[in-house]
């Protein structure tokens, strides 16, 4: 993770105990009170590299919208009906392919401190007694906040006290030590994004090495947490198949397949606007120069036969070792499912049902 250079505090929430605690932990980082946070966004936008500048400043403010949201999937590809717990935005790590670089305008690290509102929303959702899969890792990395806040100590016990919703914390860090002594009741799933050593080295700046991610996953498993893994985005390059096969083998050397809630697979895809950002910020990166076509969701995607070939091999490598693990595709169509896994989600009640059943089985939900 990168070092923060400045903290901007929305004056309306300056007296919040969370602000006081966070600033105490980051007492060597200069702080500035702001009446209009939009001024910070304008300043970041005018920087030579707005993305990098946005990773160096932290804005403490309120979430003025809903904390619980639906994942912004697409009707063109199979969606899993995931829910998002919107605790903050952006990320202090720096992956070349990160969609957040072009998703937010500008991309700025924000942490929402109105936790009372968040807890109230969760309480209302719990009372509905509807099964939901929810995670904090869509608009940010779930665990980058661990060095600065006690967010895991707020969320994990909260989910432990109910039986209808599971929380997924998805990360590329190894910031898991605070999870060790929390009473989680297996209602929180800790998950890692995985990639090959080459992609981590060349495209995932300031993230944890692959071996460190495996070690952290094994630690969380020893503390009783269910696990999940996401091979997304898988990137095509000469030698990538053997590299991804090696990652699969190493994964199951560290964790028990019976404790894995799911493994997702997704090939590299990007909005056209991201290409220029990658070319400008990652001069050595070659990932945008593959065989791409315009997908139904207006994103650039690998030519479908190439996607199917890698997805089919990855699924077979996983199933050879762990035949009972739930494997699914993130944002793919029925043809990819059928040719890679041998079935389409509707044959098993739909993708949401597949994932719900796995979560219920591993997390002890009702």
Contact 133, 355 (CB under 8 A): yes
Listed as own residue / partner, the contacts of 352-357 with beta carbons closer than 8 Å and 24 or more positions apart are 352/80, 352/81, 354/326, 354/328, 355/80, 355/133, 355/262, 355/326, 355/328, 356/131, 356/133
d(CA 21, CA 83): 29
Kindly state the helix (H) or strand (E) to which residue 227 belongs, with its residue range. Answer: strand 227-234
Contact 323, 342 (CB under 8 A): no
Per residue in 204-239, pLDDT tens? 999 999 999 999 999 999 999 999 999 999 999 999
How sure is the predictor about 322, in pLDDT bands with cuts at 50, 70 and 90?
Answer: very high
For the chain, helix (H) and strand (E) counts, in that order, are: 13, 18
Report the first-to-last Cα separation within the chain, whole angstroms: 38
Cβ count near 242 (within 10 Å) = 9
For residue 106, whether the previous peptide bond is cis, meaning omega lies within 30 degrees of 0, is yes
Listed as own residue / partner, the contacts of 258-261 with beta carbons closer than 8 Å and 24 or more positions apart are 258/324, 259/221, 259/226, 259/227, 259/362, 260/226, 260/227, 260/228, 260/229, 260/322, 260/325, 260/362, 261/189, 261/226, 261/227, 261/228, 261/326, 261/358, 261/359, 261/362, 261/363
DSSP string, 141-186: -TTGGGGT--HHHHHHHHHHT-SSEEEEEEESS---GGGTT---TT
Token representation of residue 331:
């944002």
Checking if the pLDDT of 75 tops 70, the result is no
Checking if the pLDDT of 60 tops 80, the result is yes
Structure pTM?
0.96
In CATH terms, the fold of domain 6-363 is pyruvate-formate lyase- activating enzyme (3.80.30)
Checking if the pLDDT of 105 tops 90, the result is no
Checking if the pLDDT of 348 tops 70, the result is yes
Q: How does DSSP classify residue 270? A: E
Per residue in 242-256, pLDDT tens? 999 999 999 999 999
How sure is the predictor about 269, in pLDDT bands with cuts at 50, 70 and 90?
Answer: very high
Q: How does DSSP classify residue 348? A: G
d(CA 103, CA 282): 18
Contact 184, 216 (CB under 8 A): no
Nearest to 199 by CA among 246, 131, 165, 166: 246
At 74 the pLDDT is 66
User: Do the strands 94-95 and 204-205 form a parallel or antiparallel pair, or are they unpaired?
Assistant: antiparallel
d(CA 231, CA 200): 12
């Amino acid at each position: 993770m990168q070092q923060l250079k400045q903290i901007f505090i929305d004056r309306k929430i300056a007296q919040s105990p969370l602000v006081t605690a966070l600033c105490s932990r980051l007492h060597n980082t200069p702080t500035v009170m702001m009446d209009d946070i939009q001024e910070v966004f304008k300043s970041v936008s005018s920087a030579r590299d707005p993305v990098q500048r946005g990773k160096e400043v932290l804005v403490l403010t309120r979430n003025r919208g809903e904390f619980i949201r639906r994942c912004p999937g697409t009707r063109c590809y199979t969606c899993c009906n995931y829910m998002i717990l919107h605790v903050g935005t952006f990320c202090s790590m720096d992956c070349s392919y990160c969609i957040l670089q072009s998703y937010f305008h500008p991309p700025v690290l924000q942490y929402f401190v109105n936790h009372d509102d968040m807890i109230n929303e969760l309480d209302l959702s719990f009372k509905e007694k509807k099964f939901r899969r929810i995670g904090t890792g869509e608009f940010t990395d779930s665990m980058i906040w661990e060095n600065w806040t006690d967010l895991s100590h707020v969320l994990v016990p909260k989910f432990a006290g109910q039986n209808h919703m599971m929380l997924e914390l998805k990360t590329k860090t190894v910031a898991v030590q605070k999870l060790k002594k929390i009473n989680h009741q297996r209602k929180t799933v800790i998950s890692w994004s995985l990639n090959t050593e080459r992609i981590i080295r060349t495209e995932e700046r300031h993230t944890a090495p692959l071996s460190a991610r495996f070690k952290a996953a094994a630690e969380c498993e020893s503390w009783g947490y269910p696990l999940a893994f996401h091979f997304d985005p898988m990137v095509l390059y000469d030698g990538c198949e053997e590299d991804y096969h090696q990652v699969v083998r190493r994964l199951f050397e560290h964790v028990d397949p019976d404790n894995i809630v799911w493994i997702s697979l997704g090939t590299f895809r990007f909005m056209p606007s991201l290409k220029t950002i990658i070319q400008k910020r990652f001069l050595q990166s070659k990932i945008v120069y593959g065989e791409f076509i315009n997908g139904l969701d207006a994103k650039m995607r690998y030519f479908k036969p190439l996607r199917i070939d890698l997805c089919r091999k990855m699924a077979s490598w996983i199933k050879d070792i762990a035949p009972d693990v739930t494997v699914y595709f993130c944002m793919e169509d029925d043809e990819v499912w059928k040719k890679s896994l041998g079935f389409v989600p509707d044959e098993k009640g739909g993708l949401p049902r597949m994932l719900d059943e796995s979560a219920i089985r591993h997390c002890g939900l009702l």
